[in-house]
Amino acid sequence: MARGTHCGFSRKFEVPCSGLYAIGGSLKTRLFPRRLLISIFHLPSSILYSAAVQFRKITIVGVGLLGGSLGLAIKRRRLAKSVAGFVRRASSVAECEKGGAVDLATRDLREAVSGAELIILCTPLLQMRALVRRMVPMLKAGAILTDVGSVKGSVVRELEPAVHKAGAYFVGSHPMAGSEKTGVSAARADLFVDAVCVVTPTKRTDPAALRKIERFWKAVGGRLLRMTPELHDALAGRSSHLPHIAAVTLANLVLDPGNPRHQAALCANGFRDTTRIASGSPEMWRDIALTNRRNLARALAAFIGDLEKFRRALNKADAKAIAGILERAKQRRDSWSARSASPSPE
């Protein structure tokens, strides 16, 4: 049995999305068919973070950038009496101890999960199913499981029935927060402040468990958005997964060692900004691409189609068409940027 190590570190628009409702104000918009979305968007507010303990024990499975940031946020806001972290490597136990992301870091899954009222899966997507199968006999009755995965459909389909059979509850989540940096050493207690946190309940979702998960994400600073797992994956495929693959492809193309030797010297701020996310975890993004492959393939097809339109205009020296493409992109991006409140670099 791996030894546990105790680590100490202690101490709150309008969006183009379907069936969207704002709480706490008169804004009610429905920009797409209501059936696509089942929920509410919580506007940023001046309400202080809740200092009340919400859970006696929270376990974070996978204490990397997101898991470590959650641990720091939970501890700073005193949302749990204790925070445990399950990690794979002995070196990770030491990193958790140094950074203070959890009270107990361990490689023993039973030790981490035992007695936990809330368990948050922060591992790569393709590891989640096997981990949940292992922990099912260890779950406390009435415990709530959630995750931070970037794909929701397959995660919810695979995990919800298994967790339900164990007498516990599963609520899918995806905080739209992150960084190209990896590991608990890059964790930040404010990572989720003003980040959109998507929850994806289903017909089987327990209402009380859902309320607790939404209260939790609000307590770490998030802005809540509910939608179906399927809609989440279609939207994230375009807005999150496609940009990552575009950045990866650009980095591989421009920085190919076969290019002239001064190529890299001509890569300045524009290239750095455009390709920043290509430095993200290859393991995590491999899992995201495979798990959401159908939506990502459709998004790639649309993206390639737009690139072909630009190439045709370029080949014809069609200044009007080129200017139109550039002007539309500027207008749309500027409009989105003016409305976006999220500081996340994801």
Indicate the pairing of strand 144-147 with strand 118-121: parallel
**Higher-confidence position of 306 and 22:** 306
Candidates 1.10.3660.10, 3.40.50.300, 1.10.1240.10, 3.40.190.10; CATH matching 233-339: 1.10.3660.10
Residue 228's pLDDT is 97
The percent of residues above 90 in pLDDT, for the chain, comes to: 73
Indicate the pairing of strand 80-86 with strand 55-61: parallel
Residue 92's pLDDT is 81
Residue 10's pLDDT is 35
Strands (E) in the chain, as ranges, are 5-6, 22-23, 41-42, 55-61, 80-86, 104-106, 118-121, 144-147, 169-170, 173-175, 196-199, 223-226
Residue 103's pLDDT is 92
The phi and psi torsions of 117 (rounded to 5 degrees) equal -90, -25
Query: pLDDT at residue 62 above 60?
Result: yes
Query: pLDDT at residue 197 above 60?
Result: yes
Helix (H, G, I), strand (E, B) or coil at 311: helix
d(CA 267, CA 258) in angstroms, rounded, equals: 16
Residue 305's pLDDT is 98
Residues carrying CATH 1.10.3660.10, the chain: 233-339
- Homologous superfamily (CATH) for 5-228: NAD(P)-binding Rossmann-like Domain (3.40.50.720)
Q: Given CA atoms 32, 229, 296, 194 in this order, what sign does their dihedral have? A: positive
The side-by-side arrangement of strands in the sheet containing 118-121 is: 5-6, 104-106, 80-86, 55-61, 118-121, 144-147, 169-170
Residue 287's pLDDT is 95
Give the model confidence (pLDDT) of 91-105 as tens digits.
888 888 778 899 999
Mean pLDDT in residue range 281-298 = 96
Cβ atoms 299, 237 nearer than 8 A: yes
Give the model confidence (pLDDT) of 158-186 as tens digits.
999 999 999 999 999 999 987 777 788 78
Residues carrying CATH 3.40.50.720, the chain: 5-228
Give the model confidence (pLDDT) of 41-53 as tens digits.
344 433 344 456 6
Total Cβ atoms within 10 A of residue 255? 14
Residue 11's pLDDT is 34
Give the model confidence (pLDDT) of 238-284 as tens digits.
999 999 999 999 999 999 999 999 999 999 999 999 999 999 889 99
**Higher-confidence position of 294 and 22:** 294
Query: pLDDT at residue 121 above 50?
Result: yes
Query: pLDDT at residue 34 above 80?
Result: no
Query: pLDDT at residue 332 above 80?
Result: yes
Residue 182's pLDDT is 78
